[in-house]
A and B are shown apart, each in its own frame.
Chain A
């Protein structure tokens, strides 16, 4: 007779579904609404206009090089085509809608990751007990193969974008918690003592000293979270989340090399854009926090 650990877990999930159904429905509504609202915003302007918006953002936050990359890379994903002097020009591969769907999934998942991850990170930095409790949970979240928690996610949240967001959230939250924890713990002892010696309340200490001084490290965590979220796109597509993962999954299941390559390329372009922009934002914050000795 073997130990039926998996069976117990399955029972637990069934129990959760039966007894906390309303809660999971609520979560589904919140996440579903956020994602589709974001999608609507991103698809409000035509593709070419959004490319310009992203390019401007890249220029403002990062460098001209990143802006240039954004312009051509994102341009490649649009569905822009026009006829000039009797010749038809095709600018993009026609992936714009699913690119924006992917972006809204990533942004939603990252947003929830940060909303949970940063406060938990701060709490873990303040309390060694919390740190010790949270650490193995984070290890679990990061090392458990995503396919494994995809199954209960589908059972609890159904098919589609919402379980994709949930799975992405689980996978992408740990670095945010870890780096927030690290950043707050690394704030120099003397700066903390100084803030205390001038009569700061704990809230003032956190808001005026600890958080701003930890910000570069926290933003490195945000960067990691966003990139990990992006790496989940294909897996999320397996359970029906729409986005750039779909052509990849289709490519794989139907052995269509072309389609798989195009979807993959789209993910890479989006990844480079998000990485450079979030990284540059972190460096900007870091420059204004240049360490004094």
Chain B
């Protein structure tokens, strides 16, 4: 079931929005041409997508592609100009101030690129903010905030000033602040982009682990400009360009069948084995494989990349178990599955390009 459903969403700044939409949609004018004609800037151009319950839906695009605007249209930090956004089947764009506040307090929360912490509040004060504004009493909200801080590994920092913490820790505060009220939906706006590469990876893994552990898991709408991050985090990915969504698909689909030249130019140099996680090639154990597995201790996380798993799979006698952070068996990967993926990667890029060229030639003919 779709938790978030956006249909024909537009955000047009300034000028004459109606005319700008008509020109862009019906006459196919480019963003630059529309700006020239009407003075309007199209930030989001007819975007439609749906986010399923408990999935991580990544919107990827370069800066200026409208991805952050798109995200803000969902919780209406930015008002969409046209189109509809439904959350749990309810139209959000027509909410009045009160309904909107209720939605933000109970269902959704947001994590920001530069953390957006409140410098005049302690770490605990930041985390309890959402509960405070919705009127929960102090002892109760502080207890909840403490528990959430423990969850993100910040126990003992309750009374620190956020400014004293490192970037990674500050974003943990940002994450805890968003998670404190068990939101159904988490909006993450380039949440890890400002972090050092190592810290970024650590946070990515932790978020994926948290997501596995939660029951029910959050639905996450994740914005990034980093393709590797998108492929690693996303159950599905939407690629944005100039305000419109060029393609929506699973990481594998995006890599295997880029919808157009733009997406292809993005993915052509990607080493699939390094970004495709094991979860996409794992399968249910067959026959007596499951019994055999319990004897071997070796297991991998569903989020490890295929390249990382490769040496392990080559050494193992049989398939390798895939277990989540709670040590629950998710599936198995065999040597054959992994090798197939690796060989496919080697030929993939050139093949796709050849196929596209042929398709175009046929169309022309």
Partner-B contacts on A (CB < 8 A) = 188, 190-191, 193-201, 204, 208-209, 212-213, 215, 288-293
Contact = CB atoms under 8 A, between A and B. Distances in A.
Main secondary structure of the interface of A (DSSP, over half): helix
Given A200-B133, A292-B163, A194 B102 contact: no
A53 B159 CA distance: 33
B116 A194 contact: yes
Given A190-B115, A215-B120, A292 B170 contact: yes
A196 B77 contact: yes
A204 B113 CA distance: 23
A277 B268 CA distance: 64
A290 B119 contact: yes
A199 B133 contact: yes
A289 B187 CA distance: 27
A209 B118 contact: yes
Contact of B105 (A193, A199, A288, A290): A199
B117 interface: yes
Interface of B: 72, 75, 77, 101-105, 108-110, 112-120, 129-130, 132-134, 161-163, 167, 170, 177, 187
A208 B133 contact: yes
22 contacts: A188-B116, A190-B112, A193-B112, A193-B116, A194-B110, A194-B112, A194-B117, A195-B118, A197-B77, A197-B104, A197-B187, A198-B104, A198-B105, A199-B133, A199-B134, A200-B133, A204-B133, A290-B119, A290-B163, A293-B114, A293-B163, A293-B167
A227 B356 CA distance: 74
Nearest to A189: B116
Nearest to A200: B133
A163 to B, nearest CB: 40
Contacts of A190: 112-116
Identify the 6 closest CB pairs spanning chains A and B, nearest first.
A199-B105, A190-B116, A194-B116, A199-B104, A198-B130, A197-B110
B133 A191 contact: no
Contacts of B170: 292-293
A290 B165 CA distance: 12
Given A199-B102, A199-B134, A204-B133, A292 B115 contact: yes
